[in-house]
Amino acid sequence: MNSVELKKKLIKLSQEPLEKLGSSELKKIYRQIQSIFDSLERMTIIQKVEELSNSIPLENKPFYLELLKKFPHKKPSSNAKKEVWEKYYLQLNNYLDECKRKKNELNKLLNNIQKINEDLALKQIQKLKDEDKKLLSLLASLTERNSKGVSSLFLGKSKEGNLAWLRELKNVKHLGVLYTEEL
Amino acid sequence: MSACVICVLNFKGGVGKTTLSVNFAAALANSPSPQGRNYRVLLIDADPQSNASVYMLGEYWRREIFLKPEKSLYGIMTRILQGNTQPINESDILGQFSDEAPRSPVFSTEKKITEEGRGIYVESDAYWPNLHIIPSHYNLNNFEKEIHYNEVGKVKIPAFSTPVYYFELLDRVSGFLKEYYDFIIIDCPPNIYTMTEIVLYFSQNILIPVIPDWLSTNGINWLLMQVRTLSEKFQHREKLIRAIVPTLWNTREHVFSRHIRILNKSLSVWKRNEMYREILSKAEIWVGLQRLASVNKCIESIRPIVDYEISETARVQLEMMTKKIITWKEE
């Protein structure tokens, strides 16, 4: 059985003499069909929500996931009403727009930091709030090799740590593996 | 109407070519077409490892194809080499061509684990009449040895008046396939030998699955060069790399995000490059398919991802990409 088969059966059913059924039987079938319509509508909006969550660019996933921790609305349960899901969709959409604005703002800063000299860049980094330092680190997704393997680099309070992050940021541009010209 | 032929290609192994090929094929076959029926989809398993065939056919492959390699793509290719250039027809394909025909073996079984931990195949309720397959066989590996072409790459086949290039072989007998199907998905082997060239010549669209790690992203450079060289060899028959599909990534490891960023930037650079401008003109990086337990569960039980409800992440990601593929048909 699949959806094609089911559709064929439903078309066939619509051509059958349903008037032969009693009113209670008709009501029962009507309610069942109505429940299928409701379920399909709900699935459509759930799909939209899931697509929205999955439309986050993979390259910025850690950044968005961090911001989404602060998203105040809880995901509805799968059997919640269509209207609840619709409301959640709008809330999520607006929040992701805000995240995007924040991303663009921090991306500008990241590009700027990459271009200016170390001292100036360190001063700019120092001015940032702790939260923005974390977000900027997530946006850059920098890693370093250590004795255990690879660990993520984060901006913090120590000057040495921030310098290591900054040097790696400048280094990323020159991986020399894929780029054939200056980006 | 001519079929939209899509080749799932990467010379690196283990990047998810088979999982994507089979599941794109199933997701397309599950989608309604403007003609009021679901799309007719054919999967050609061109990889001698035959994983796509085993995934879609289960026990049937072991029972009916393993012992009879002539019923696979290997049979078709050797038949052409021996001079039988009769176009591929319904008898070469596993699938159901009419409502009255016996049930198709495609996804007709599912694997269940017994209490003793033994895997058994049981008949499935699911029904896939419009999803067909030309299965593969381990012997397809021997085809590379059996084909002999001259210094310019031409083979003498009595039925053709003049020698033909070896890479044209499948294309020459595929008239029915391109007429009947809406989509043809090809699961390529992880190499760049004869069979890969044959299926690449036959396709217009290329999908490149890639794990966003250092080795895979690094390998894309070489892959692009090879596709471009082959495109020239095929006398500029249109080849388009349509998408790079990140696979097997997870949200916890930042290294994946970093490599996608590198790929994104590299793609914009390559698009400006004279050499790649044409083949990359429509290329983009897709959402891809995450490393998820649900995907492994599907493969284990030999079911497609579209068996899940639409809210399941793996299916959401797959459907988002399938929607894009459907738009190519309308181009």
- Per-residue pLDDT tens over the stretch B147-200: 988 988 999 888 888 899 999 999 999 999 999 999 999 999 999 899 999 999
Residue A4 placed within a domain:
no
Interface test with A, best of B258, B260, B303 (most A CBs within 10 A): B258
B256–chain A Cβ distance below 8 A for any pair? yes
- Per-residue pLDDT tens over the stretch A129-169: 999 999 999 888 887 777 877 778 899 988 899 999 998 88
For residue B70, the tally of other CB atoms under 10 A from its CB is 12
Quote the pLDDT of residue A176.
Answer: 39
Contact predicate B15/B211, CB 8 Å: yes
Residue A6 placed within a domain:
no
Task: Kindly determine whether residue B127 and residue A47, on different chains, have CB atoms separated by under 8 Å.
Answer: no
Task: Kindly determine whether residue B217 and residue A57, on different chains, have CB atoms separated by under 8 Å.
Answer: no
Query: Contacts of residue B263 in chain A, CB cutoff 8 Å?
Result: 178
Task: Kindly determine whether residue B316 and residue A4, on different chains, have CB atoms separated by under 8 Å.
Answer: no
Residue ranges of B 270-309 with Cβ closer than 8 A to chain A:
270, 273, 285, 287-288, 309
Under the banding of pLDDT at 50, 70 and 90, the label for residue B257 is confident
Full-model pTM: 0.91
Count: domains in chain A:
2
- Give me the mean pLDDT over the B258-285 stretch: 88
Statement to judge: residues A27 and A65 lie in one domain? yes
Q: Which of A101, A136, A162 is the last residue in one of the domains?
A: A101
Under the banding of pLDDT at 50, 70 and 90, the label for residue B25 is very high
Range of the domain at A146: 116-183
| Closest of B314, B304, B327 to residue B27, by C-alpha | B304
Residue in chain B closest to A45 (alpha carbons) equals B311
Task: Kindly determine whether residue B262 and residue A178, on different chains, have CB atoms separated by under 8 Å.
Answer: yes
Spans of chain A, pLDDT less than 70: 172-183
Query: Contacts of residue A150 in chain B, CB cutoff 8 Å?
Result: 255
Task: Kindly determine whether residue A78 and residue B311, on different chains, have CB atoms separated by under 8 Å.
Answer: yes
B193–chain A Cβ distance below 8 A for any pair? no
Quote the pLDDT of residue A173.
Answer: 56
- Per-residue pLDDT tens over the stretch B3-14: 999 999 999 999
| Closest of B288, B262, B283 to residue B271, by C-alpha | B283
Task: Kindly determine whether residue A4 and residue B38, on different chains, have CB atoms separated by under 8 Å.
Answer: yes
Q: Report the alpha-carbon distance of residue B77 to residue B223 in Å, rounded.
A: 25
CA distance B84 to chain A (A): 37
Contact predicate B237/B231, CB 8 Å: yes
Quote the pLDDT of residue A174.
Answer: 43
Please, what is the Cα angle at B283 between B184 and B274, to 5 degrees? 120
Residue A28 placed within a domain:
yes
Statement to judge: residues A61 and A85 lie in one domain? yes
Q: Report the alpha-carbon distance of residue A80 to residue B2 in Å, rounded.
A: 44
Statement to judge: residues A79 and A48 lie in one domain? yes
Statement to judge: residues A31 and A95 lie in one domain? yes
CA distance A57 to chain B (A): 7
Task: Kindly determine whether residue B269 and residue A4, on different chains, have CB atoms separated by under 8 Å.
Answer: no
Query: Contacts of residue A53 in chain B, CB cutoff 8 Å?
Result: 316
Statement to judge: residues A81 and A121 lie in one domain? no
The gap from C-alpha A107 to its chain's centroid, in whole angstroms, comes to 17
- Assess whether pLDDT exceeds 70 at residue B1: no
Residue A109 placed within a domain:
no
CA distance A60 to chain B (A): 6
- Per-residue pLDDT tens over the stretch B66-88: 999 999 999 999 999 988 889 99
Under the banding of pLDDT at 50, 70 and 90, the label for residue B216 is confident
Quote the pLDDT of residue A175.
Answer: 42
Q: Which of A69, A101, A133 is the last residue in one of the domains?
A: A101
Task: Kindly determine whether residue A58 and residue B287, on different chains, have CB atoms separated by under 8 Å.
Answer: yes
B147–chain A Cβ distance below 8 A for any pair? no
- Give me the mean pLDDT over the B98-118 stretch: 89
CA distance B146 to chain A (A): 38
Statement to judge: residues A27 and A94 lie in one domain? yes
Residue in chain B closest to A175 (alpha carbons) equals B262
Contact predicate B186/B17, CB 8 Å: no
CATH topology of domain B4-330: Rossmann fold (3.40.50)
Residue A3 placed within a domain:
no
Task: Kindly determine whether residue A2 and residue B128, on different chains, have CB atoms separated by under 8 Å.
Answer: yes
Quote the pLDDT of residue A178.
Answer: 38
A61–chain B Cβ distance below 8 A for any pair? yes
Statement to judge: residues A97 and A34 lie in one domain? yes
